[in-house]
Chains A and B, each alone.
Chain A
Amino acid sequence: MRCRVTGFVAVAAVLLVVSTALAHHSVSGQFDVNKPLTLKGVISKIDWINPHVYVHLDVKEKDGSTTTWALSTLPTAMMRRAGLTRETLAGKPGEEVTIDAVPARDGSKNLGWINRITYADGHSFAPTGQ
């Protein structure tokens, strides 16, 4: 693949936990929980909408071009319950983050569900555990 996407086999226990959680919430009907991938890039936009917040991640390709991923996550009420805001989710301007995600099942390119965002200082946001 041209983009900096690194597929990996996660720890079996983690996958088991996540897959179980997602399977109950229809995420598995939209995203392939068995194809985890890792993206590195800069969050360019947060769509603070319901029923699912969307994080847009600009990923630099090897050829210098940029691919923007649209990554879905939980509703705003669940974010608020954890004290998360649009701003805290976005991180610092220009900050490179790592997002563990799973891709869309219908073949849509650059569409995924967030398993974890890890920010430059090492702290992370994991909507569905791990």
Chain B
Amino acid sequence: MTYRALIGSVIVAMSLAAASVAAQVSARVPQRGTPEQLKQLSSKPTPKLADGRTDFNGTWDHLGGIEFVRPQTKADGSICLIGCTPPSRAGGPPPAPFPPVQTDFPKYKPEFVAKVKDLTEHQVKYDTVLQCQPPGVPRIGPPSKIVQNAREVVFLYDDVNGSFFRIIPTDGRPRRKDVPASYLGDAVGRIEGDTLVVETTSFNDETWLTDNGAFHTKDLKVTERFRRRGDTIEYSAIVQDPSVLAEPWSPKGQMMWITDVEIEEPARCEDRDLEHIVDGSHHDNPR
């Protein structure tokens, strides 16, 4: 069989297989966070607390970075999670890329570019997030739950690496000076109208800003902004680490929306895979 004939056979086989499966797909897990849903949720009134400040309390859905998982359920109960039948054939929205295409990356000073390259080429060895360590900020992404009172805001995270929390004073008290460096740092916050601004310092240097060797130093400062609009929050962050970054970096913003699905204690994180990886290949860690 010629190469062209082989490719033709593969394409035909793929088309037949896709069409066959599409015909059987009878149900689809409802999509969350669609543009239509977010538009409707953000048009609601923005709630206020009794003291007039914007209310950020709630359990917040943001898909945890796994929007590319679009489960499909067939009539017989069969479930497909990733790489299912092209929805365009089954009558649905186009699939998200698997994994999400990462296009945003911090710009490093020239003398650190080689280090970033080396780290990303040896990610399996050096990326502590693969070893069930806390992911750091902003890599951990937005919180899953926000608890707010007159003195502080508490972030709770339901993360693949475990349960994490951050306590963010918002009453103007001075930043503590005796806090040891940590994975998630020491935060202070303030509420500016409909936006909660969180400034975090005192990080250790054991985490990365994102995948691909994006290391940082203990000089890292992260400013996160949570703008509440109706039942949504627009999350954005600015990362500053002038000793290694050529300029401040902003990871891709995320949308959060209120949900009545309560967070759960995540399953324990126990890596059993790293010792079996033979080529040090890259591992995406969507959040």
Which parts of B220-258 form the interface with A (CB within 8 Å)?
none
Interchain nearest-CB distance for A8 vs B (Å): 16
Any B CB within 8 A of the CB of A18 = yes
Complex Cα–Cα for A26 and B124 (A): 9
Q: Could you tell me if B269 and A51 are in contact, using CB atoms closer than 8 angstroms?
A: yes
Complex Cα–Cα for A127 and B83 (A): 8
B128-152 interface code vs A (CB 8 A; 1 in, 0 out)? 0010100000000000000000000
| Given known A11-B17, A50-B267, A77-B66, contact A29–B83 (CB-CB < 8 A) | no
Decide if the interface of chain B is mainly helix, strand, loop or mixed: loop
Which parts of A64-79 form the interface with B (CB within 8 Å)?
70, 72, 74-79
Complex Cα–Cα for A108 and B98 (A): 28
Q: How many residues of B contact A (CB 8 A)?
A: 48
Which parts of A1-30 form the interface with B (CB within 8 Å)?
11-14, 16-18, 20-21, 24-26, 28-30
Segment of A36-44, A81-89, A93-101 engaged in the interface with chain B: A81-89
Closest residue of chain A to B275 (Cβ to Cβ) is A106
Q: Could you tell me if B283 and A78 are in contact, using CB atoms closer than 8 angstroms?
A: no
Closest residue of chain B to A108 (Cβ to Cβ) is B276
B95-132 interface code vs A (CB 8 A; 1 in, 0 out)? 00011000000000000000000000000100000101
Interchain nearest-CB distance for A120 vs B (Å): 12
Interchain nearest-CB distance for A11 vs B (Å): 6
- Chain A contact-residue range equals 35 or more
Closest residue of chain A to B83 (Cβ to Cβ) is A129
Q: Could you tell me if B273 and A24 are in contact, using CB atoms closer than 8 angstroms?
A: no
Segment of B37-45, B71-79, B166-174, B197-205 engaged in the interface with chain A: B71-79
Complex Cα–Cα for A81 and B278 (A): 30
Of A12, A16, A30, A130, the residue contacting B276 (CB under 8 A) is A30
Q: Could you tell me if B83 and A78 are in contact, using CB atoms closer than 8 angstroms?
A: no
Q: Could you tell me if A25 and B267 are in contact, using CB atoms closer than 8 angstroms?
A: no
| Given known A13-B10, A125-B78, A126-B79, contact A82–B69 (CB-CB < 8 A) | yes
Mark B residues whose CB is within 8 Å of A. 9-11, 13-14, 16-17, 29, 64, 66, 69, 71, 73-74, 76-84, 98-99, 124, 130, 132, 158, 160-161, 266-273, 276-284
Can you spell out 13 A-B residue pairs with CB atoms less than 8 angstroms apart? A11-B17, A13-B10, A16-B10, A21-B82, A24-B98, A29-B277, A77-B64, A84-B79, A108-B276, A121-B76, A124-B78, A124-B79, A128-B81
